Amino acid sequence: MKDKIIKPDKDFELAIQAKKSEQTSRHPDKEMDRAYVYRLSCAYSSPFMPMIDLSFAFDELKKLLKQWPAKRKKKPVTAPLLGILLLFFVQSVYAQHAEIIHPLSLEEIWKIAEANNRDLKLSDLNVQQSKIEILEAKDHLLPEFSAGGDVKLNSKFLIYDNGLFSSPQDVPIKGYGYGVGYNLNLNLFNGGKDKRNIVMKKEEGVRKLYEVELQKQSVKYHVAVAYFDLYKFLHFYDFLDAETEAEKKQLTLIESLHKNGTVLKSDVLRTSVKLSQLELALSDVKKKIAIAKQHLNILMGREIDTELAIKHADTIELNAITEGDYKDYVDIAFNKSPSYKMVNSDIKWSKLNVKQMKATLWPKVSLYSNYNYTYPQISFYPYSNDLWGFGQTGIKVQFSIDNLYKSKHSIARAQTVSNQAKEKAEMKKDEISLQVKEAYLQQQQALESVETAEQNIIKTTETLRVIRSSYLNQESLLTDLLEAENALLEAKFNLTTAQTNVQVSHIRLLAIVGIL
C-alpha cells in the first residue's frame, strides 16, 4: 500500500511526459544533458541528503567520453550512459553517508537509553545509597570501642580535714598529670531495634529496586513515544515531499492548459496557493523532525545535536498486538507492576515501624569494659605520685521510665501510618485496574482506526483518480481535484498516525502491567 500512497497517478505522469516532449526541441543539447543527469542523480537520493555539486564530475566525464569515441571512431556516448555513471557516483557517496549514521531500531534505542539515561543513572545511585544504608545499619551491631588519653596541669591538692574554714592540709603531688585508657560497650538487648532496623533498611532497598524498575518502564515508554513521533513525522515528510513534487508537475500542466485557453487563470492561482501551503507544511515537518530527534537524544543520554537516524522505512507489524485479554493483563499487573509492588513494600515497612516504636518499652542491656592508666594517683587514698592502672568489666541495665507514657503517641502514629499504607495499596489496585482498562481500550480503538484508515486510503485514491481524469477531460472543477488530493493526503496522515498510535498504546499497556 505504501507504493500506492507515494507514487503519483500514472495518467497524470503521462500528461507531464507529453508536455515535456513538446518542449524538447527548445532545449540545447548541453542543457538537456545536464537536466537529464540531474534527474537521474536525484532520483534515489534521500530527502534529507544534502545536495552535492556534481558539475566538476560532469565536465570531466564529458571530456573523457568525447575523447573515447574519437579513438574508437564510434558515435559519442549519449546522456543516459553519463547519467548512469553519475548515478553510481551519487549512490556511493550516499552509501558512505549512511554508514556513518547507522539507523537505529526502537530496541537499539531502548538499550542505549537504559545505559545512558540520566534519570536511570540517578535511580541507580539511589539503589547504591540504600545498599550503603544497610551496611551502616549493620555497623550498629558492632561494639562501641574507644581509646583516649589526656595531659593536664594539676593545682595544689588541698584537704580540709577540719572543715572549709580551717587550714587545709597540702598533699604533695606533681604539678602535672596524664592518663590513657580504653572504653568498650556492647549492646546485648534493646528490644531488637538494631536487627529490626537492618530489616527495615533492606525493605527500603527493595522498594528502591521497584522504583528503578518503574523508572525503566517509564523511560522506555517515553522513548517509544518520541520514537514513533519521529517515525510519524518522517513519513509525513515523505508524503508531503511526494505531494509537493506532484503538485509542481500539476502546476506546470495547468499553466500549459491555461496558455492554450483550456482552463482559467484562477486554476493556476489555486494550484500555486496549494503548492505554497505544501511547502510551508514541509518546512513545519522538518522542524518537528529536528525537535523529535533532540528529544530522543536527551532520553538516550546523548548530546542534543548528535546525528540520529531511525528505521522509519520498516513496516509496523500489528498482528501480534491483538493478542491478550483484559483480565489477563490485570492479573499480570497485580504480579508484575512495580508501582503495585511499591505499595505492598510500604505496608511491610510500616508494620516493622510499629514494632520498632513498641521496642522502646523494653529495657536496654549492655556489656561494658574500661581500663585506664593514670598519673599521679589521686583517686583513692593513700595518694601517690606513682603511675597506677584501674579497670572495670560488667553488665549494665537501663530502663527508660519516661518512655512508658511518651511512646504511646509514637506507637499510635506508627499504627496510623500502617493503616494509611494499607488503604493506599487498595487505591493503587483500583488505579492500576482503571489504567489497564483505559490502555486496553485505547489499543482496541487504535486497531479499529487502522482498519478505517486503510479503507479511506483505498476510497480516496480511487476518488482522486476519477476526479483527476475528469478534470483533464474538462468534466470537473479544479476545486474538486484539490479537495480530492487533500483528502488523500489527510488519509495518508491518518493511517500513519493510527499505526503509530497502535504501537504506542500497546507499549503503554505493557508498561502499566510491568512487562515492557
Q: What is the pLDDT of residue 147?
A: 93
Q: What is the pLDDT of residue 386?
A: 84
Q: Are residues 354 and 463 in the same domain?
A: yes
Q: Are residues 116 and 219 in the same domain?
A: yes
The Cα 40–Cα 45 span in angstroms is: 9
Q: Are residues 252 and 344 in the same domain?
A: yes
Q: Are residues 184 and 302 in the same domain?
A: no
Cell of 37: 543527469
Long-range (24+ apart) CB contacts under 8 A made by 416-420 are 417/350, 417/353, 418/347, 418/350, 418/351, 418/353, 418/354, 420/350
> Lowest mean pLDDT: which of 82-91, 124-133, 146-155, 358-367?
82-91
Q: Are residues 31 and 159 in the same domain?
A: no
In a domain, 466, yes or no: yes
Element (H, E) at 398: strand 388-398
Residue 423 scores a pLDDT above 90: yes
Residue 494 sits in a domain of what CATH number? 1.20.1600.10
In a domain, 403, yes or no: no
Q: What is the pLDDT of residue 311?
A: 84
List residues bridging with 365 in a β-sheet.
Answer: 189, 397
Q: Are residues 92 and 184 in the same domain?
A: no
429 vs 60, which has greater pLDDT?
A: 429
Alpha helix segments (H runs only) across 300-396: 326-336, 338-358
Q: Are residues 107 and 254 in the same domain?
A: yes
> Lowest mean pLDDT: which of 23-32, 170-179, 220-229, 431-440?
23-32
Residue 55 scores a pLDDT above 60: no
Cell of 226: 518520541
Q: What is the pLDDT of residue 46?
A: 39
User: What average pLDDT score do residues 504-511 get?
Assistant: 92
Q: What is the pLDDT of residue 156?
A: 82
In a domain, 346, yes or no: yes
Residue 223 near residue 296 (C-beta atoms within 8 A): yes
Helix axes 403-472, 10-23, angle to 10 degrees: 50
Which of the listed residues 380, 398, 416 is the one where a domain comes to its end?
398
CA dihedral 208, 211, 213, 219 (to 10 degrees): -140
Mean per-residue pLDDT over the chain, rounded: 81
Residue 60 scores a pLDDT above 80: no
Residue 2 scores a pLDDT above 50: no
> Lowest mean pLDDT: which of 2-6, 357-361, 362-366, 437-441?
2-6
63 vs 330, which has greater pLDDT?
A: 330
Report which DSSP code applies to 302. S
353 vs 94, which has greater pLDDT?
A: 353
Q: Nearest 5°: phi and psi at 102?
A: -75, 120
pLDDT exceeding 70 applies to what percent of the chain? 78
Q: Are residues 425 and 448 in the same domain?
A: yes
> Lowest mean pLDDT: which of 28-32, 166-170, 222-226?
28-32
Reduced to 3 states, what is the DSSP secondary structure of residue 396? strand
In 3D, which of 479, 487, 415 has the Cα closest to residue 453?
487
Predicted confidence band of residue 62 (pLDDT cuts 50, 70, 90): low
Based on the structure, what is the number of domains in the chain? 3
Q: Are residues 327 and 268 in the same domain?
A: yes
The amino acid at residue 313 is A
The Cα 19–Cα 124 span in angstroms is: 66
Q: What is the pLDDT of residue 175?
A: 82
438 vs 65, which has greater pLDDT?
A: 438
Residue 86 scores a pLDDT above 90: no
Q: What is the pLDDT of residue 320?
A: 59
Q: Is residue 322 exposed (0-12), middle (13-18) or buried (19+ Cβ within 10 Å)? A: exposed
Residue 275 near residue 248 (C-beta atoms within 8 A): yes
In a domain, 440, yes or no: yes
Q: Are residues 267 and 331 in the same domain?
A: yes
Domain that holds residue 376: 143-189+364-398
In 3D, which of 498, 474, 483 has the Cα closest to residue 258?
474
In a domain, 137, yes or no: no
511, HSE (Cβ side, Cα atoms, 13 Å):
20
Q: Are residues 259 and 371 in the same domain?
A: no
For the chain, how far is it from start to end, CA to CA, in angstroms? 30
The pLDDT tens digits of the residues spanning 297-313 come to 999 988 888 888 888 77
Q: Are residues 307 and 383 in the same domain?
A: no
